[in-house]
Every structure is written in C-alpha cells, then in structure tokens.
C-alpha cells in the first residue's frame, strides 16, 4: 500500500509533491521517488528508506518543472531498494509510472515483455505497466494507458507521465483510491484527502474503472472503454491543520485527545431526541429492520474488535442473531449467508482489501451491505447500500484510536435503532442509551485527565516484555484491543484472553513480574472477573485493573494499580475504558523510543490480501 501524489500548475512541482508525500507517508514508508517534466524530458529522483532520504537526494541534485508525480512505497513485490522505488520507466525512459496496488498477473506479462526484448530494472509488479504503455503508445497516452491496464489484473491507482506528451498527467483507477484536487490554476492528485488539504478543499473522487487526464486546463474523466464522466467536486470540511499534529508529539497522541470531539461529531444530528435515533445514510427502514433474519459483521484488526462489541449490542438490544468474522477468513469458509441478512462491514479506511472482499462476498450471497466507515468516498462506502460514517476526521497514525471509539458509538446507535424498529427494547431503555451516548464526549474528556497517572504507570512498566489482557463479556473484545495497541507500537509480546479461559492453560505462563491488565467494567461479571484476578495475583503477576466508578470498589482490593473511568451504561463502557489502554500503549512505546506513528512492518490501511 503506497501514497501517490501528482501536480500540474504554475508552481514548482517538487516542493508540492514532497509535502504531499510527507502527509501520505503513513501509507507506506520504505522508499520514495518523484519525476518531473524538465526541458521536455522526464527527470527522476528516487531512494530507498524514508522520505527524508529522498529529500536529501533532491537537495543534492535539484529538479525544476511544474508538472510532476511522486510516490511513497510499502513494498509488496520487490524488497525496499532504490531500483524498486517508484517511479518506474519504460526501456526508452520516455514513460514513467507510479502505482498503488498489486498487478496479480505481472509475472506472465513480464515474461512476454522480456521475450519481446524489453529490459527490466526492478523486481516490482509495477514496472510491467511502463513497458505495456511503451508497447501500446501510438501518439495518444491515454489510449495507451487504457490498453496497458486492459492486460493487467489486480488493483491499481496508476499515474503516468510521458516525455512525448509533457503537458499532461494520466491516471487510472481500479480498487486503490485516487482523488483529484482542484486548486487555483493548478490540479493535484493524491491517494487521499490529507495530502490535498493545504492546496484545496474541492476534490473529485476517481471511481473504479475511470481514467483521468490532468492538463493545465483542468481534468477530464472518462470510463475505461466508455465515454466522458461529468462529476461535480465535493467540498471537504476537514482543514489542513486537522491533518497536522496540532502541537502533539505524535499523530497518535493528538488523535487520542481528539476522541471527545470525534464522538461528538459522530453522534451529531443522529440523536435528535431522547426517543429517536436518526442514522443518515442508512436507508434500512423499520419494516426491513423487522424482517432482518441475521447480521454478519466483517472487519479486520481494530475494526474487528469494535465489531465484536457490536455483536453483543445487536444481540442484546435488537435481539438479532449476529456473527462476526475476520475479513481475511470470511469468504474462505463459504458462510451460510442468505437474503434477508444484513452484512455490516466496519473499517476506518474503507480500503482494507480483506474487508472489502468479505463485504462483496456477503452481498454476492444476497445480504444487504451496510458500511460503518470513516473515509468519505472510500471504496467500501461507495459499494454499500447503507453507509454509516464515523466522523473521526483524518486518522493519520497507523495505530487506530479515535476511529475505534467512533465505530463503537456508531454500532451502539445502529443496535439501538434496530432494537427500536424491531420493538425489542422498551422506550425508557432507548432514552437511557441515548443519554448514555450523549454523555460519552464529556466522560471521555474526563478519562483523558487520567493521563499523568497512566504516564507514571508506563514509566514503571516500560521494560515489560510479556503482558496479558483479560476480561469477561464486553471486556474480552476490549482486552483484545488493549493487547493489540501494546503489540503494535511498543512491540511488547501481549495476549488477550477471556478471563475464564486462564485456568484452561495460559495460567501456566503467569509468573512473578508478568503484567496482567484486567478489564472489569461489567457490573454483572465483576465478581467472576475478581476470581480470575486473584488467580493471576496468586502467581505473582503485576495486576493493573481498569474499572468504572461502579465496579471499582469491587476490583480495587485485588489489583496493584487501578484506573477508574466514569460510571456509564455497561454496554457503552468499552468506549471509555479503551482510552487508558490507548494511552498506556502510547506512553510505553514513547518511553521505549519507538516510531509511534509509523510502527515497523505496518501500514495504515492494508489494500492487499
């Protein structure tokens, strides 16, 4: 998964491209490159390593020109190296391409091209596209690009520059995201919105199967093998600052502190009264809600943990059988999905390949698709019948935080609305849940004030190498999320398990010094959780408890350290109790000197299987 940038206008292209790539670096950061039209020829600079490496190269050998393309890479085919960095050129170095996605049939295409005398410089799948365009070129670059991608299968956001037509950029999309930004006397192109915000708020999403030609005069979009497409620009409300760190040391910490606002915005206009939930973008009416036979939720990573909470909410509030599947597993178990079912796909980016494929699989089997997604105009959003946007704003840090909290809030609103439509929850319960939801932003703000105590805890635990997160009921998926956060950025080996499972094996690993984080936010289960805490305490574990004001008195005597969040409806407790877990992981990673926003081996959204 990579970041793509393009510029055509009156300014020097390279500074705009490099700034855009800096804002896209969370999408992949193992190599980068730019290409510009310079005196009628194409000039390329590229380098393995972070963007800062490329900046050094460009400083040593500057580039001029006001038309250019740029790329930051997350390797899928061909290890990170200068040769495998994008852009890639054809044999004559008259055409250069940058690409986000995977060309699944590149090996067979490469063999054919080699047999026809083409010379390859890299091990990437992308380079075949440059040579295919070279072969197809007959004086019309757009036509050549169309012919080239017609031979390719897989996913691509492909952007092309040619010395033979130096006054244009040609871009084409299948699956991987591409957005055009309309600026003052300039046109920009990027993989997503944050890279465009410093220049414009007027954007046009390039849809699947579309080709765009950018010239000084504007952008012309057409369907591959079809006619022109007329699409009005969309005005983005996010401002450039939203994409910057706002004074925090890392995007992750900024995004943790943005959660009260993100929750507020996600509920804005959706809780019109204490009696009603209004979900814009969800056309599923009361009648269809009553007829629903089953809900399938598909998601990956942190979104999957939100989905697990969503299952309990849907089953308890809407009394509808609900199954949760990992996106990467769902379609390979030939699920018994049928018409009358609702398939809910949860995703921050809306571009995660496994989740997209699972959602498509469920639809193909007759389910209605509802997307709970954060990125406006993303593939998942465009393919679903119903779209419930989480309004978390741009989430830059690889480690998902505010998107997770807004997913929980969105799923709680969905479950309550479905329960109301199906008549499975009484009006007083609906009002209590709506009041609980409305109280979340202020209570989340209160939890953030616990940060100093959590920093002190992180200082004490920073050298931990093994940790366990335990919980019962809704605290189990919460434990999974806490454990993932710690693993992702502090690189501590961590495991989450249902507290009741300890005695069936894992307890053997609990020895003095091991850290156990015990989630105890569920009043109905707190006594049971305490007995599990006593089991690990008795084996010398260092136990950190997380409770609400109502469960804290029960848990406090049994833990070494207790973090207490405000009292809240047990079904909404994961929203508040997740915040201390995020802060603990963040500060342990910071204290261990790790690259918190760009943890090793990971990327923000995974658009490959």
Active site residues: 2, 604
Largest CA distance in the chain: 79
Q: How many residues form the binding site for ligand AGP (CB under 6 A)?
A: 15
Question: What whole-number distance in Å separates Cα of residue 125 and Cα of residue 131?
Answer: 11
- Return the structure tokens found at 167: 């006054």
Q: Is 303 in the site for ligand AGP (CB under 6 A)?
A: yes
Residue 298 vs 555, nearer CB to ligand AGP? 298
Quote the least distance from Cβ 481 to ligand AGP, whole Å. Answer: 9
Residue 196 vs 303, nearer CB to ligand AGP? 303
Stretch that binds ligand AGP, among 31-39, 307-315, 363-371, 393-401 (CB under 6 A): 393-401
Count Cα neighbours of 202 within 13 Å in the Cβ-side half-sphere.
Answer: 10
Tokens 């004030």 correspond to: 449
Q: Is 398 in the site for ligand AGP (CB under 6 A)?
A: yes
Question: What whole-number distance in Å separates Cα of residue 254 and Cα of residue 247?
Answer: 8
User: Which one, of 401, 444, 387, 447, lies nearest residue 301 by Cα?
Assistant: 401
Residue 398 vs 573, nearer CB to ligand AGP? 398
Quote the least distance from Cβ 375 to ligand AGP, whole Å. Answer: 8
Which of the residues 475 through 494 are near ligand AGP (CB under 6 A)?
Answer: 488
Q: Is 347 in the site for ligand AGP (CB under 6 A)?
A: yes
Residue 348 vs 564, nearer CB to ligand AGP? 348
Q: Is 607 in the site for ligand AGP (CB under 6 A)?
A: no
Which residues does residue 215 pair with via DSSP β-bridges, in sequence order?
A: 218
Residue 4 vs 213, nearer CB to ligand AGP? 4
User: What does each C-alpha distance from 26 to 114, 395, 417, 476, 565 come to in angstroms?
Assistant: 35, 10, 35, 29, 31
- Return the structure tokens found at 63: 């580039």
Q: Is 400 in the site for ligand AGP (CB under 6 A)?
A: yes
Q: Is 256 in the site for ligand AGP (CB under 6 A)?
A: no
DSSP annotation of 165 reads S
Rg (CA), the chain: 25
Please report the sign of the dihedral spanned by the C-alpha atoms of residue 260, residue 263, residue 269, residue 274: negative
If one counts every other C-beta atom within 10 angstroms of the C-beta of residue 163, the result is: 18
User: Could you give phi then psi for residue 340, rounded to 5 degrees?
Assistant: 90, -5
Which residues does residue 574 pair with via DSSP β-bridges, in sequence order?
A: none
Q: Which of 300, 359, 362, 486 binds ligand AGP (CB under 6 A)?
A: 300
Quote the least distance from Cβ 323 to ligand AGP, whole Å. Answer: 18
Q: Is 410 in the site for ligand AGP (CB under 6 A)?
A: no
Residues 353-372 as x/- pattern, contact with ligand AGP by CB under 6 A: --x-----------------
Q: Is 126 in the site for ligand AGP (CB under 6 A)?
A: no
Q: Which of 176, 349, 379, 483 binds ligand AGP (CB under 6 A)?
A: 349
Distance from CA of residue 559 to its chain's centroid? 35
DSSP 514-581: -EEEEEE--GGGHHHHHHHHHHHHTTT-EEEEEEETTTHHHHGGG-SEEEEEPP--GGGHHHHHHHHH
Q: Is 47 in the site for ligand AGP (CB under 6 A)?
A: no
Residue 72 vs 352, nearer CB to ligand AGP? 352
Residue 539 vs 592, nearer CB to ligand AGP? 592
Q: Do the beta carbons of residue 277 and residue 410 sit within 8 Å?
A: no
Q: Which of 177, 194, 301, 570 binds ligand AGP (CB under 6 A)?
A: 301
Q: Is 176 in the site for ligand AGP (CB under 6 A)?
A: no
Stretch that binds ligand AGP, among 96-104, 275-283, 299-307, 462-470 (CB under 6 A): 299-307
- Return the structure tokens found at 337: 């999905």
Q: Is 310 in the site for ligand AGP (CB under 6 A)?
A: no
Q: Is 499 in the site for ligand AGP (CB under 6 A)?
A: no
Residue 136 vs 399, nearer CB to ligand AGP? 399
Q: Which of 87, 526, 606, 607 binds ligand AGP (CB under 6 A)?
A: 606
Residue nearest to ligand AGP (CB): 301
Question: What whole-number distance in Å separates Cα of residue 75 and Cα of residue 603?
Answer: 10
Q: Is 17 in the site for ligand AGP (CB under 6 A)?
A: no
User: What does each C-alpha distance from 512 to 103, 443, 462, 542 come to in angstroms?
Assistant: 51, 35, 16, 7
If one counts every other C-beta atom within 10 angstroms of the C-beta of residue 339, the result is: 9
Residues that bind ligand AGP (CB under 6 A): 300-303, 347-349, 352, 355, 398-400, 488, 605-606
């Amino acid at each position: 998964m990579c970041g793509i940038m393009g510029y055509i206008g009156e300014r020097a292209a390279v500074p705009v491209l490099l700034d855009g790539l800096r804002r896209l670096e969370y999408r992949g950061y193992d190599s980068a490159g730019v290409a510009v039209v310079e005196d009628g020829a194409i000039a390329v600079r590229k380098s393995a390593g972070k963007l800062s490496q490329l900046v050094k190269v460009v400083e040593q050998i500057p580039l001029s020109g006001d038309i250019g393309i740029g790329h930051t890479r997350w390797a899928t085919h061909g290890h990170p190296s200068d040769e495998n960095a994008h852009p890639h050129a054809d044999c004559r170095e008259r055409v250069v391409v940058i690409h986000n996605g995977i060309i699944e049939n590149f090996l067979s295409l490469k063999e054919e091209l080699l047999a026809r005398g083409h010379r390859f410089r890299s091990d990437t799948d992308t380079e075949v596209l440059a040579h295919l365009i070279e072969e197809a070129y007959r004086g019309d670059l757009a036509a050549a690009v169309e012919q080239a991608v017609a031979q390719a299968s897989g996913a691509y956001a492909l952007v092309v520059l040619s010395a033979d037509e130096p006054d244009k950029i040609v871009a084409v999309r299948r699956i991987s995201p591409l957005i055009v930004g309309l600026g003052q006397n300039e046109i920009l192109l990027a993989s997503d919105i944050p890279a465009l915000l410093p220049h414009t708020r007027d954007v046009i999403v390039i849809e699947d199967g579309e080709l765009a030609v950018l010239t000084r005069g504007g952008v012309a979009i057409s369907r591959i093998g079809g006619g022109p497409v007329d699409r009005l620009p969309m005005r983005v409300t996010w401002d450039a600052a939203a994409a910057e760190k706002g004074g925090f040391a890392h995007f992750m910490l900024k995004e943790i502190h943005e959660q009260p606002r993100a929750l507020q915005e996600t509920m804005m206009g959706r809780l019109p009264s204490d009696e009603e939930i209004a979900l814009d973008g969800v056309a599923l009416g009361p009648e269809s809600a009553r007829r629903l036979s089953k809900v399938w939720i598909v998601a990956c990573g942190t979104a999957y943990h939100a989905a697990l909470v969503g299952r309990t909410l849907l089953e308890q509030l809407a009394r509808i059988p609900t199954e949760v599947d990992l996106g990467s597993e769902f379609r390979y178990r030939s699920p018994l999905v049928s018409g009358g079912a609702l398939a809910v796909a949860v995703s921050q980016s809306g571009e995660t390949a496994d989740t997209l494929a699972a959602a498509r699989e469920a639809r193909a089997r007759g389910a209605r698709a509802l997307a709970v997604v954060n990125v406006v105009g993303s593939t998942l959003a465009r393919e679903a019948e119903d779209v419930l946007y989480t309004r978390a704003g741009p989430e830059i840090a690889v480690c998902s935080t505010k998107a997770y909290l807004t997913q929980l809030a969105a799923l709680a609103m969905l479950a309550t609305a479905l329960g109301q439509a199906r008549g499975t929850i009484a009006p007083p319960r609906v009002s209590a849940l709506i009041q609980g939801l409305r109280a979340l932003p202020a209570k989340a703000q209160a939890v953030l004030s616990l940060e100093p105590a959590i920093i002190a805890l992180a200082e004490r635990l920073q050298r931990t190498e093994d940790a366990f997160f335990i919980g019962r009921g809704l605290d189990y998926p919460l434990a999974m999320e806490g454990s993932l956060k710690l693993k992702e950025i502090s690189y501590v080996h961590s495991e989450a398990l249902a507290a009741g499972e300890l005695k069936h094996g894992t307890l053997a690993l609990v020895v003095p010094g091991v850290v156990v984080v015990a989630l105890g936010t569920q009043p109905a289960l707190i006594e049971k959780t305490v007995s599990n805490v006593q089991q690990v305490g008795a084996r010398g574990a260092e136990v950190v408890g997380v409770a609400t004001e109502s469960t804290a008195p029960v848990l406090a005597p049994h833990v070494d350290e207790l973090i207490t969040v405000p009292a809240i409806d047990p079904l909404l407790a994961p929203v508040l109790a997740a915040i201390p877990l995020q802060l603990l992981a963040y500060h342990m990673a910071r204290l261990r000197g790790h690259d918190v926003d760009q943890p090793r081996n990971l990327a923000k959204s995974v658009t490959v299987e």
